[in-house]
Structure 1
């Protein structure tokens, strides 16, 4: 069981890390501005599920394999980059929607999947967790696997709160965008550029 001191220290570190500008929170910001608060929260849920995956990978030692295997790292990062380029393509080609138009919106499952794939296919998250989590473990406090699981849960909760606030703040733009066709075109192009930038950041990242 983690001590109170470790929980507080780790929670504060997780708060600072989740607030720092990065691919995930920029992704939430963009999706929320384009599609609204609900869409942003669904993306956040997907991202947080990805964090659970990475925490489990660290606990089971899978992250160490990714760090040691150049092939596994390359496959993961280019899969993630390709998916972001696909989202960029969809953003560039997104049509203008008129207020009151019964146009199909992105399905909830698709939004959740976007966040999940975005996070899971970023190998640097697993490697970061592998380096970061052990600093807050103590062999005298019990099984390391259980301690890492607790740290992962704390990180997920903190991230959900921070990213949720980002989604709420950016989602306020969505109502205005639905009333302005020109603004929709601009934000879709901006979203596409952001996705291309995130894809490049992942594709050219090193271990």
Structure 2
């Protein structure tokens, strides 16, 4: 069935995609943190940003941009450090916000609005390793003899996004339960947010240290 669309070894792809999506990363962590601290509506704005960013990366992989980045050390380095800087900035911002939590008996301040969609989108598209992943992973499951590689990329991309949406929905439902349990425990919320910020800084350091 899937071979008609230029896709080979579909079930192997499905198993690999499930494992890859469930590995913790900046995207899922940001969506989970947003769901816990800002609610489901804000979190799904982040989910929409992640999905659009992944679709854009899949398009770049199909268009051959990933190969260009891999072949050009200067381009790869520039994109890599841009992604690391963004992750560091986001991590520091999360930690700073957590440290500025008011005292336990203080009134709850108004929630400052932020563009969750845009931040999640930037998280998706500023990681060069994600671009290279899409071309190196997807290409293994596309029939080299197919005359419609765009269709094959679309089928695999749709399946991957369906898995990603399902997994992030599960994370959000889990996060909603955690948020209800946290309730007014502001110090614990601040600790969770601080740890999240540190993880983002760790992701940035790991990205900056990677080689093309």
Query: Is TM-score (shorter-chain normalized) higher than 0.5?
Result: yes
Superposed CA offset, 1:82-124 (max 9, x none): 11222122222213267973513333xx111111111101001
Partner of 1:103: 110
* Structure 1 gap segments, 5+ residues each: none
Equivalent of 1:74, from 73, 77, 102?
A: 77
Residue 194 of structure 1 pairs with residue 171 of structure 2 = no
Superposed CA offset, 1:7-29 (max 9, x none): 44423321121012333333333
- TM-score, normalization by structure 1: 0.86
Equivalent of 1:53, from 53, 56, 61?
A: 56
Using the alignment, how far apart are the partners of 1:145 and 1:5 within structure 2?
Answer: 14
Using the alignment, how far apart are the partners of 1:105 and 1:175 within structure 2?
Answer: 20
Residue 154 of structure 1 pairs with residue 175 of structure 2 = no
- TM-score, normalization by structure 2: 0.84
Using the alignment, how far apart are the partners of 1:60 and 1:25 within structure 2?
Answer: 26
Q: Is the 8 A contact 2:50 2:123 kept in 1?
A: yes
* Structure 2 gap segments, 5+ residues each: none
Q: Aligned ranges for residues 1-207 of structure 1 at < 5 Å?
A: 1-2=4-5, 6-94=9-97, 95-96=100-101, 101=108, 103-107=110-114, 110-207=115-212
Root-mean-square deviation over aligned CA pairs = 2.4
Q: Is the 8 A contact 2:6 2:151 kept in 1?
A: no
Using the alignment, how far apart are the partners of 2:26 and 2:186 within structure 1?
Answer: 27
Q: Is the 8 A contact 2:6 2:148 kept in 1?
A: no
- Once the two structures are TM-superposed, the CA of residue 40 in structure 1 deviates from its matched residue by 2.8
Using the alignment, how far apart are the partners of 1:33 and 1:206 within structure 2?
Answer: 34
Using the alignment, how far apart are the partners of 2:116 and 2:42 within structure 1?
Answer: 6
